[in-house]
Amino acid sequence: MSALISDLKSDLSSPAVLIERLPDHVMLVTLNRPQARNAVNGDVASGLQAAIDQSEADADVWVVILTGTGHEAFSAGADLKALSNGQGAALRTERSGFAGFVHATRSKPWIAAVNGPALAGGCEIALACDLIVAVPQSRFGLPEVKRGLVASAGGLYRLPRALPQAVALEMILTGEPLSAERALQYGMVNRLAEPEHLLDEARALAARITVNAPIAVRESLGVARHALDCTDAELQALSTQAQTRVMASDDFKEGPRAFIEKRAPRWTGR
């Protein structure tokens, strides 16, 4: 019993969001409230905002992986205890919205490594990432209508972009979740991996990104994120602007040089 109490105290005293630098230009960000199914409170929101700021400011970070502690949940969404205590405003930041994340301005790819159910705001956090790797036991859902609420942190428009419209609308209107297997079949999830291999799979996907020129990756991602929101003419203008910025980089010269010299490119991100 004393060991259990000690472990609980350790969990409660740990940061709500862990930030770790991994090799090969990767940052790992972990939601760390397993005792609350990694639900979002003020500490999570401020911690995720700090993780975004840190990753954007660090030129050596090219990809970020976001996961949760434990196997009970990736995130259960908003912490209902915080809401009932009148702390709802703390669950968002002015710059980035709910969880300090869902409306953030981010230039670098984020991979959600979904270690368990991603429901309500947890699903919206996963949808705000660029790629998703998930365990087979996970599921995705927006159950807000079951509670007389609206999924207002991006889920109502990101889910129909990630899934066939009929499937997304059924989830939104019924509040019923989608299994990880079906999410993979529909293309919402990129990969499935057993829990013990989840981070390995996410890191392998990150490695397939970081082998490429980081500026070209960021600029390409910036255009692709607007693919469903802009006209072809607007997207062409964005593409031209992105190409102009890439051509001004040292890496633009390194790519052809490495090809001619028959060697792997040495990207600098400059």
Q: Establish whether 219 is a catalytic residue.
A: no
Nearest Cα to 135, choosing from 113, 109, 119, 120? 113
What count of other Cβ atoms lies within 10 Å of the Cβ of residue 14? Answer: 13
Q: Which residue among 144, 170, 194, 201 is the active-site one?
A: 144
* Backbone dihedral angles phi then psi of residue 119, each to the nearest 5 degrees: -120, 150
The whole-angstrom separation of Cα 118 and Cα 114 is: 7
**Known catalytic residue: 144?**
yes
Residue 205 CB-density burial (10 A; 0-12 exposed, 13-18 middle, 19+ buried): buried
Q: Which of 56, 124, 170, 201 is catalytic?
A: 124
CB 78 within 8 A of CB 40: yes
Q: What is the DSSP letter of 61?
A: -
Residues paired with 113 in a beta bridge: 67, 133
Q: Which residues are catalytic?
A: 124, 144
